[in-house]
Structure 1
């Protein structure tokens, strides 16, 4: 199926009009604090892209609640609060974290759903020790490197309205799961689940992570642009996070510009590009909304699923 058949395409101007007077309740300083490493986003981008999106999600949250109330009435059951779950997918370095955090901030400003939590699927990766034992370190980020059953069990508890659900924590510094540490999710109004793998399916599982989503978003861009953003981020981290002796990538801190370029290009080609083509990009059409970025990081087109 061609993506244009399943989704309505809107250019930036058409999409921006759908804001419908939704107020901008986000300051420039707040935006700086939520944007990811090496990502570029302006308040104008928030106004033209993310405010219409927050309005759409608000409408969907309200519709979801009404449908749950109808179902409970039909079954003669007492309504139970269950989070509205949003999935955010896309390649490494495409800007998922920024999108998720901006959405979290904007959605929490609506009176009807102030409690918005965010988890990343990085916490559901197998530990470095386990990946090494399984011979999967070179496949980190691929579907088989995740404890999928653990992630699904987490989603089941969230969608069952459990008051306290624990999610494992991942450190991008040590490149590993943080032992004996968990993030507590306490039945929020909205839960955003961000990760490269959230729309992927595995034939061996009767349930997929996306089965628990009420709405899903895919961040898209030309592969050449994403590769460039990844390399630029690598150079930036070399001067910052890689300096820390605890960093898994500390070994690269003294690389020359040429060596750093070669290493970043190698990692992209051997891991991230393969994962994008084999596992991530094929899931794009499953998303309810696709945000298409240009080479300047600006979202130039929005595709909204019709069916």
Structure 2
């Protein structure tokens, strides 16, 4: 299903493997899915600068949850076929959804809202959310390897640990632990873990989750994170918009979190507005834009669903894989 009612955002066009949907066309696929989150729920789920409206939830998220629910049912049916063939008792394996995209594109808020909505479906009430931040190497290791300025690049992650986590979740182990990352401390929290216990759905959110390799090296072996995904979503936007959102988020954090003595970025607390913008723009272009262009954006067409954001952060166009 395609529509010509809206121009392609930023001149981008979907690859031939994906069908293009306007926002209105996509909203029409909601069917009768009810909205079961209150305004208070949405307020609690929103990010620092990423404002998700009720309209966004109704027109974008609810059709998406309907699509994902259909996929979950189909996946369970295929699993039962294999179990019947092998003559074993049915195993209810977690359905794993990946959420990828640039820094500051709104992945965290998107994943939180998606988790809350999927958990309202009676078929899969247990939905867990894990971010790849927990699989970053600790600051000590990054400093030893000279990688602090490449944090978020593929080589900054403990890929074997990430693969082991996903493999254990997929194998339906009773309890699987993921390290916890503190954005305030800008480091892994020693001795602290998030425990995942046989969820119906796992949402796995991060920058480079759709990578085919670890920065071109073979450290991760032949198995990559995307081997474990049942469905993948890529949040996309024009680079100029993402840069603007990144700078706005940096400014908001400078006025709040950076003021705390425990913040890794406490030394930025007294920057003037102009200085904060200059520092944020430098970090964006030197680190995050480089990572986006070299590692993240090249994985976009591997996603089952690409969601293209407009300058106002709302989804304007969607590309859904058909082939």
Coarse TM-score class (shorter-chain normalised):
over 0.9
Shift of 1:149: 0.6
- TM-superposition CA deviations, 1:94-113 (whole Å, max 9, x none): 00011101110000000010
Q: Which residue of 2 aligns with 1:11?
A: 22
CA distance in 2, matches of 1:32, 1:272: 28
Does residue 152 of structure 2 align to residue 134 of structure 1? Answer: no
1:3 Cα offset (Å): 3.5
Runs of 4 or more, structure 1, over 4 Å off, are none
Q: CA deviation at 1:4?
A: 2.8
Offset of residue 41 of structure 1? 1.2
**Secondary structure class of the residue paired with 1:255:** coil
Specify the alignment match of 1:302 in structure 2.
Answer: 318
1:172 aligns with 2:188: no
Does residue 86 of structure 1 match 2:97? yes
Q: Following the alignment from structure 1 to structure 2, what is the Cα–Cα distance between the partners of residues 88 and 294? A: 18
CA separation in 2, counterparts of 1:36 and 1:279? Answer: 25
Q: CA deviation at 1:62?
A: 0.3
The yes-or-no answer on 1:144 pairing with 2:155 is yes
- SS of 1:85's partner is strand
Secondary structure of 1:31's aligned partner: helix
Q: Select 1:33's aligned residue among 40, 44, 51.
A: 44
Secondary structure, in 3 states, of the residue corresponding to 1:122? helix
Report which stretch shifted further, 70-79 or 172-181: 70-79
Per-residue deviation, residues 102-141 of structure 1 (Å, max 9, x unmatched): 1100000000100000000000000000000011001100
In structure 1, the residue matched to 2:166 is 155
Correspondence for 1:115: 126
Determine the structure 1 residue equivalent to 2:296.
280
Give the structure 2 partner of residue 74 of structure 1: 85
Q: Which residue of 2 aligns with 1:235?
A: 251
CA distance in 1, matches of 2:78, 2:48: 39
> Partners in 2 of 1:92 and 1:215 — Cα distance?
21
Once the two structures are TM-superposed, the CA of residue 36 in structure 1 deviates from its matched residue by: 1.5
Query: TM-score under structure 2 normalisation?
Result: 0.94
Aligned residue for 2:285, secondary structure, equals helix
Provide structure 2 residue ranges, at least 5 long, that are not aligned to the other structure: 1-12
Q: Secondary structure at the match of 1:4?
A: coil
Query: Could you give the per-residue CA deviations for residues 8-32 of structure 1, whole angstroms, max 9, x where no partner exists?
Result: 1000010000000100001111111
Gapped regions of structure 1 (runs ≥ 5) = none
Alignment partner, residue 264 of structure 1: 280
Instruction: Write out per-residue CA displacement over residues 164-212 of structure 1, whole angstroms, 9 at most, x where no aligned residue.
Output: 0000000000000000000000010000000001001215230110110
Deviations 1:271-305 (A, max 9, x none): 00000000000000000001100000010001100
CA distance in 2, matches of 1:36, 1:5: 34
Q: 1:59 aligns with which of 70, 84, 88?
A: 70
Give the match's secondary structure for 1:5: coil
> What is the distance in 1 between the residues matched to 2:17 and 2:265?
42
2:201 corresponds to which residue? Answer: 190
Inter-partner Cα distance in structure 2 for 1:30 and 1:3: 33
Give the match for residue 216 of structure 1.
232
